[in-house]
Structure 1
């Protein structure tokens, strides 16, 4: 083994545990989540005195007011807030918790590993649909909502990982996601980018997805498998297989697992359609097309004349 047990000095440990317990208790109560997040961030950033002066009506500069109101997630917007198909009832709470997660990462305490891993584990228990025990979440992890993620026990998610749960993500026990991994659960239509389809993406127990790899929406990463660095996975990875490349292909079975593994194939099978998550948009929804592109191909009867300048 290449790691040893590390702990904080006893006084630091008591303070850390007291803080985590306090935030956990407040998030578990009937208290307004927005208020809990705001006050927690104010204190973590050492801005309590300025915040109380602002609340008391003191004269502050515009920059100070923007900084202080930024601790409140109700005064911020996230990219996922614009997604029309989101579950509004779940998003209201998950947005607040996601804001706390992201802004915690901007504090010096986010680099205190023994504290930060436990704080994020506590937040994950509140934010994710399910989160197992003894998970380790490192710095710079992002997600779409958070509430469509299920993670098992003893899983590690390293720095800069993106967990896209616009559809649904299920990650098993003892999974390792290395730095820069991207797991997707939604795809855009090739012609009409505004046409979004959501999927269920699955990473089975004991799988390893290594540095900077990308997994396409609706793909299953098999149990005990390995995805090589910077691979792009566009088809299901069989159990116990090692896949590498762009697009990823199986190159071998993990040594010792040959008797229980499927044969190596030249091409991974894409079963994305089997895992599509359909959704209905509310009637009368006020949507917009941020691109405004022409979507009619030139080889169709209704296509505009490319020579016309009208």
Structure 2
């Protein structure tokens, strides 16, 4: 069953169009992104009066001050900010995408995020500024999180549903007409099984017309071949060939989609791990100030 078109009343449409156009114009202009994000969030949360009182030296409670300061993305930290490779990013790339991430996440915490027609268009506009590439007619639903944002390329007519995590610590390429269902996770980095602090980054590829279904996971470096399906609650740790259906934990190709047998790889040749081909090497500065959050010294027997 296909979906139907839904439209807003003229008054609602006019207000939404004006707001999105204004934010887009400001993000595209010469203004500091941090300042734009702060200004937009103050108004979205209806806190202009308290904010102006605080800015003019008026009295605010400690809780109010924390809230008002939190609209400024320069006053917040994200988990990805702790990743060591952030030190190697040039031209303030992380700072810019961090600010845009904060706007995306905080917008999703407002009541307006449940106004689907408005929210889809607002997130699509933000994606133009946040992602490396984003195609036409994409739909991004509520609760989507990314690692950085600037290592994600998205094709046309892509749908990403609620509470999906798109990890671009490495690189993530999503083709045209891809559907990613609620609670799915797509990764581009992995941890060593012995040394949890050792991280490998990969290029994860989701080709055209792929369906990643409910609560499933694509591991770093996996290629989901065109027109393939990852079944609900499955974990793809190896490439899924074009037109195949993969299921299970770990996922294996269990069938070829009906009618696609003449052009699909044989099931006997599937389930091959080719992730090493997509590993992304990186170097860290020698003077990097690091910390080990685990403080572990466990080593295999005989490992000096």
Range into which the TM-score falls when normalised by the shorter chain: over 0.9
> Which ranges in structure 2 are unaligned for 5 or more consecutive residues?
none
2:296 corresponds, among 283, 293, 298, to 293
Q: What does residue 280 of structure 2 align with?
A: 277
Pairing of 1:120-269 with structure 2 (within 5 A): 120-265=123-268, 268-269=271-272
After superposing the two structures, state which structure 1 stretch, 210-219 or 290-299, moved more: 290-299
Distance in 1 (alpha carbons) for counterparts of 2:269 and 2:137: 37
Which sits farther off after the overlay, 260-269 or 31-40?
260-269
| TM-superposed deviation, 1:295 | 3.5
Count of equivalent residues = 301
Task: Work out the CA distance in 2 between the residues paired with 1:119 and 1:127.
Answer: 12
In structure 2, the partner of 1:41 is 41
Q: Deviations over 1:76-135 (max 9, x none)?
A: 000000011122521010000000000000000000000000000000000000000100
Between 220-229 and 1-10, the greater mean CA deviation after superposition: 1-10
TM-score by length of structure 1 reads 0.95
Tell me the distance in 2 between the aligned counterparts of 1:239 and 1:190. Answer: 30
Match of 2:97 in 1: 94
3-state SS in 2 of match to 1:15 = helix
Alpha-carbon deviation of 1:31? Answer: 0.3
Alignment RMSD (CA, Å): 1.0
Aligned 8 A contact 2:241 2:270 in 1: no
Deviates more, 1:242-251 or 1:93-102: 242-251
Distance across 2 between alignment mates of 1:140 and 1:275: 28
Give the secondary-structure state (helix, strand or coil) at the position aligned to 2:64.
helix
Secondary structure at the aligned position of 2:255 is classed as strand
After superposition, where does 1:110-121 map in structure 2 within 5 Å? 110-121=113-124
Q: In the alignment, does 2:11 pair up with 1:8?
A: no
- Report how far residue 263 of structure 1 moved: 0.6
